[in-house]
Each structure stands twice: as structure tokens, then as C-alpha cells.
Amino acid sequence: MRVYLDMCCFNRPYDDQSQLKVAMEAQSKLHIQRLIREGKLDLIGSYTLDYEVSRNPYEMRRQSIVQFIHDNMIGYVGDERADMIKPIADKIMETGVKEKDAYHVASAIYAGCDYFISTDIRLLKYKSDRIRLVTPIEFVTETEGEE
């Protein structure tokens, strides 16, 4: 099963864990990372994700995320595919999704991902018949036992 995690998802374990929802999402995201490391899920990355990671102002977090992606990614949507990604992203943006988010989702769709995993509530309102957008908690709940 192919998955794409956006920057919100990668950052969730670094967020304030005093809210139960945030703590549960962080634990679910760490569980997903374990499944990726074990080869039970296929991680897809993209040039949009690389750009966002590079903008993370926290050096340790940035390096940790980059290292995980580099070590575990099995597929990558590079900027040489931008001409193929743009029409998909444009259609997504027509629904009110922000440009950067639309390019993340478009990259995941282009790469044939089954799931797009995010903690961005506004982005998760976007619905597609080409990919399932879920929170880390929803992903774990829906796929538990499949891995």
C-alpha cells in the first residue's frame, strides 16, 4: 500500500502533546513510520515535500524528517514531472485547496498512492475518488490488521 505523508503529519510528534487529539495523532503517525520502516507500507515523496521540509526552521526536526524520508522512500515525484502534476493540482485548487496542499495531493495521486495522510483539517475536507485523505488516526483505524 502506497502512502504519502504531508508536512503537517511529519511535524505532528513535535507539536504540543497536551491535547489528547494531538497526542493520539502523533502516536498514530509514529506507528505509520514503523510500518514504513518494516516495509509494510510504501512511502512516496515529492519535490513539494522536499521544499516544505527545507523550510522547517528547526534544524534537528528538519534533519530527522529528511533522514527518515531518504532512508524509507520507495518512490519520488520530482520536479521534472511538474507539467503532469500541474493539471491535477489546478483541478484540486478549483475546490478551494491552497496551492501547496494541492501540489502535495496531486503528487500523491500521480504516484498512485492509496492514502494521503495529514493532520490539516481544512485539507482533509477535500474529497477525491482517486485517493483517500485521512488523519493518522483514521489511517490506523481503517488499515489495522491489513499490514
Domain containing residue 121: CATH number: 3.40.50.1010
- The string of pLDDT tens digits covering residues 124-146 is 999 999 999 999 999 999 998 76
Q: Which amino acid is at 118?
A: S
pLDDT mean over 75-79:
97
As a whole number of angstroms, the distance between CA 139 and CA 5 comes to: 11
Q: What range defines the domain where residue 127 resides?
A: 2-143
Share of the chain above pLDDT 70, in %: 99
Which 3 state secondary structure label does DSSP give 126?
Answer: coil
pLDDT averaged over the chain? 96
β-pair type (115-117, 73-77): unpaired
Cross-strand partners of 42: 2
Q: For residues 27 and 141, what is the distance between their CA atoms, to the nearest angstrom?
A: 12
Q: Tell me: the pLDDT tens digits for 24-37?
A: 999 999 999 999 99
- Does residue 51 contact residue 136 with C-beta atoms inside 8 Å? no
What value does the mean pLDDT take over residues 106-126? Answer: 97
Gap between the Cα atoms of 130 and 132, Å rounded: 7
Total count of domains within the chain: 1
Sheet holding 2-5, edge to edge: 73-77, 42-46, 2-5, 115-117, 132-134
